[in-house]
Amino acid sequence: MHRYDKENDEVVSQEEACVGCHRCVTLCPTNALTVHKNQLQFKSHGNWTDWAIRNIYKQAETGGVLLTGMGNDRPYPIYWDHLLLNASQVTNPSIDPLREPMELRTYLGRKPERLELDLGREVLSLKENIPPQLKLETPILFSAMSYGAISYNACEALARAAEILGIYYNTGEGGLHPNLYKYGKNTIVQVASGRFGVHKEYLDVAAAIEIKIGQGAKPGIGGHLPGEKVTDEISKTRMIPKGTDALSPAPQHDIYSIEDLRMLIFALKEATRYRKPVSVKIAAVHNSAAIASGIVRAGADIIAIDGFRGGTGAAPMVIRDNVGIPIEFALASIDQRLRDEGIRHQASIVVAGGFRNSADIFKAIALGADAVYIGTAALIAMGCHMCQKCYTGKCNWGIATQDPYLTKRLNPDIAVERLVNLINAWSHEIKEMLGGMGINAIESLRGNRLALRGIGLTDTELNILGVLPAGR
Amino acid sequence: MKRIFIREEFCIGCRLCEIHCLVAHSSSKDIIKVFKKEKPRPISRIIVEQKGYNSFSLQCRHCDKPYCLEACMSGALYRDEKSGAILQDKEKCVGCWMCIMVCPYGVIKREINNKKVSSKCDLCIDREIPICVERCPNQALILKEV
């Protein structure tokens, strides 16, 4: 991109290669650099935008599928921005979280049908065994991002931050590097269609297991890690030959029905002696509610739903931009369906897909989520500048790359600190919002849609979200 | 005693340590003026070594057994009692450059125009944290008590 021309004694930049990652801007010691959008425009047209024209040029040149990275960037509505929160005034006092204790602790997993106390003994105890639970100090987890899609340093940073924060990170379908086994109690391991890196120890060291059926950025599509990214360490971790493409099939070849899913869930539970919760992750699609009901009945302890804004290391642009539904609708309809069927307690709901701040998370919990997965936000905390070039493997911030020149740009010590700061900041904000509502536990907010009001939404949208319009 | 430690696994070879070292040891202390106006341009006391993707920045190790101090015939090099750093009295330096010859790390350099004086890391003795450590964007240099 930048090169020194000795003859002219000046630095030249090759503007057409700039992806807008801001690496040069950030490091320039004199703040002399800035990145502007190229002013060159095609003649303005409502239908034939720059974006549409350029994509045709690219495909006419290459004859290939357009690839992209990160989540859906098209200007679809963001329903979080159409939801407003409530606060206490006069009749119910608000609480100051700096003076009074606030509870954000969250347990994920199947809850018992009812609680029966054994009154016969001296110490009160429960009659029935509580199924395995994940204990989170704050209702946030780091999304599935595989070692391969992201660098080892990025994986290490997520693992270490999760341990410090008392939350969990997810390995994605990249296996688990042996150096990270020590963070096992904060690790959710994924079993996906390629079964990469799945072995006994992988399941044993983890806190929970997640079966990945789909991903918000590319529902119905498998994964593809190009061979050049499959380095020595990745080949060992994924248990595939070095330099070969790691192709995750689109479907799980042993799952063609809810009954098949049940077999895999119980195979994994059996393999881990029923000590770990099993999660099933799906992309938010049109009939998510019915699918979720099936997943719960199949025995999942946690359902993870990934909305259409969910990120990815690489996906066909046409899929990323056009497939799936907003997480807000998927969450609201799934929570409602499970309640209607009386099985909501059988599984926790974790939602994912483009959560930008603590307010989005707060609103999701009020809509019925138990916790929220954050992926892109975590990457941004580590340094990502959203240039959406993850699929090239040349991430300038050392995150979505395996190039040894680039991976060392991410110092896990710094990344851990920044991740911990972000989650702590959001947790503080969540406590402030809870306090403002006069409640002192996140449990009292969960599924409490009366805490929300819609603004600028149609009756149908309000109906799906199950919230009243502002002013009602 | 505090020393600068190198974490080569995180050095990205950006050479900002060199730039900031040079500015901190200039007369104007202003990055633009240093590069545009100061003649001769001061030189950095820190050196970035690079081969392939391996890189690290190296400055005076302030050795426990400093060869440079032994070799300095004029007594211009001395150990600062408080910080333990090897410093240099420019007045006393005669420009024999024996320190440059004996330094096993090759981190003592001659100042371009001033033929008498050699240039070496002074551990930024006036600052709490040496400038290279403070400005390293990736914490590849850290200051640790030894």
- pLDDT in tens for each of the 472 residues of chain A? 788 999 998 889 888 889 999 999 999 999 999 999 888 889 999 999 999 999 999 999 999 999 999 999 999 999 999 999 999 999 889 999 999 999 999 999 999 988 888 887 788 888 888 999 999 999 999 999 999 999 999 999 999 999 999 999 999 999 999 999 999 999 999 999 999 999 999 999 999 999 999 999 999 998 888 888 899 999 999 999 999 998 899 999 999 999 999 999 999 999 999 999 999 999 999 999 999 999 999 999 999 999 999 999 999 999 999 999 999 999 999 999 999 999 999 999 999 999 999 999 999 999 999 999 999 999 999 999 999 999 999 999 999 999 999 999 999 999 999 999 999 999 999 999 999 999 999 999 999 999 999 999 999 999 999 999 999 9
pLDDT reported for residue B117: 74
For chain A, what percentages of helix, strand and coil (3-state, to nearest 5) are there?
35, 15, 45
Is B111 within the bounds of a domain? Answer: no
Q: For residue A135, list its beta bridge partners.
A: A107
Interchain pair B31, A413: CB under 8 A: no
Give, in degrees to the nearest 5, the angle at Cα B72 between B68 and B78: 75
**All structural domains of chain A with their residue ranges:** 2-67, 106-469
Establish if B19 touches chain A: CB-CB under 8 angstroms.
yes
Interchain pair A408, B139: CB under 8 A: no
Retrieve residue A116's tokens. Answer: 């029966």
Establish if A30 touches chain B: CB-CB under 8 angstroms.
yes
User: How many CB contacts within 8 angstroms connect chain A with chain B?
Assistant: 30
pLDDT reported for residue B86: 93
DSSP-based three-state secondary structure for B107: coil
- Pair (B46, B75) in one structural domain: no
- Pair (B52, B34) in one structural domain: yes
Q: For residue B143, list its beta bridge partners.
A: B4
Closest CA to A193 of A150, A237, A256: A256
pLDDT reported for residue A164: 98
Q: What is the pLDDT of residues B60-90, one digit of tens each?
A: 999 999 999 999 999 999 999 988 999 999 8
Output the pTM of the full model.
0.95
Q: What is the pLDDT of residues B116-130, one digit of tens each?
A: 777 889 999 889 999
Is B17 within the bounds of a domain? Answer: yes
DSSP-based three-state secondary structure for A248: strand
- Pair (B54, B25) in one structural domain: yes
CA B53/CA B105 separation, integer angstroms: 21
Q: Specify whether the CB–CB gap between A338 and A290 falls below 8 A.
A: no
- Pair (B69, B90) in one structural domain: yes
Q: Specify whether the CB–CB gap between A209 and A203 falls below 8 A.
A: yes
Pairing of strands A169-170, A187-191: parallel
- Pair (B42, B2) in one structural domain: yes
Q: Specify whether the CB–CB gap between A109 and A348 falls below 8 A.
A: yes
3-state SS, A180-191, equals HHHHHHHEEEEE
- Pair (B71, B88) in one structural domain: yes
pLDDT reported for residue B16: 96
For the cut 80, the answer to whether the pLDDT of residue B114 exceeds it is: no
Tally DSSP H helices, then E strands, for chain A.
Answer: 14, 21
What is the complex's ipTM, to 2 decimals? 0.91
Retrieve residue B101's tokens. Answer: 């010859």
DSSP-based three-state secondary structure for A162: helix
Interchain pair A404, B14: CB under 8 A: no
Is B35 within the bounds of a domain? Answer: yes
What is the span of the domain harbouring residue B46?
1-59+121-146
CA A220/CA A222 separation, integer angstroms: 7
- Pair (B3, B54) in one structural domain: yes
Establish if B60 touches chain A: CB-CB under 8 angstroms.
no
Pairing of strands A348-352, A302-306: parallel
Q: What is the DSSP letter of B91?
A: T
Element holding A156 (H helix, E strand): helix A152-165
pLDDT reported for residue A315: 93
- Pair (B97, B84) in one structural domain: yes
What is the average pLDDT score of chain B? 91
Question: Which of B7, B12, B131 is the mutation pick for testing A, counting most A CBs within 10 A?
Answer: B12
CA A82/CA A77 separation, integer angstroms: 9
Give, in degrees to the nearest 5, the angle at Cα A347 between A182 and A214: 70
Is B135 within the bounds of a domain? Answer: yes
Interchain pair A411, B10: CB under 8 A: yes
A460-469: Cβ within 8 A, 24+ apart: A461/A79, A461/A82, A461/A329, A464/A329, A464/A332, A464/A333, A465/A79, A465/A83, A465/A328, A465/A329, A465/A332, A465/A367, A466/A332, A466/A336, A466/A367, A467/A83, A467/A367
A186: distance to nearest CA of chain B, Å? Answer: 26
Closest CA to A136 of A104, A110, A183, A158: A104
What's the domain count of chain B?
2
- Pair (B43, B74) in one structural domain: no
Closest CA in chain B for residue A27: B137
Architecture of domain A106-469: Alpha-Beta Barrel (3.20)
Instruction: Find tokens 């040029």 and name the residue.
Output: A57
Q: How confident is the model at residue B13 (pLDDT cuts 50, 70, 90)?
A: very high
Instruction: Find tokens 């099993």 and name the residue.
Output: A278
Establish if A408 touches chain B: CB-CB under 8 angstroms.
yes
The CA distances from residue A219 to A57, A321, A330, B27, B95, in Å, are 26, 11, 14, 61, 71
pLDDT reported for residue A208: 98
pLDDT reported for residue A362: 98
Q: What is the CATH number of the domain that holds B86?
A: 3.30.70.20
- Pair (B54, B72) in one structural domain: no
> Which residues of A fall within a CB distance of 8 Å from B7?
411
CA A457/CA A83 separation, integer angstroms: 9
B119: distance to nearest CA of chain A, Å? Answer: 23
- Pair (B5, B54) in one structural domain: yes
The CA distances from residue B117 to B61, B79, B109, B112, in Å, are 19, 17, 9, 9
- Pair (B22, B35) in one structural domain: yes
pLDDT reported for residue A117: 86
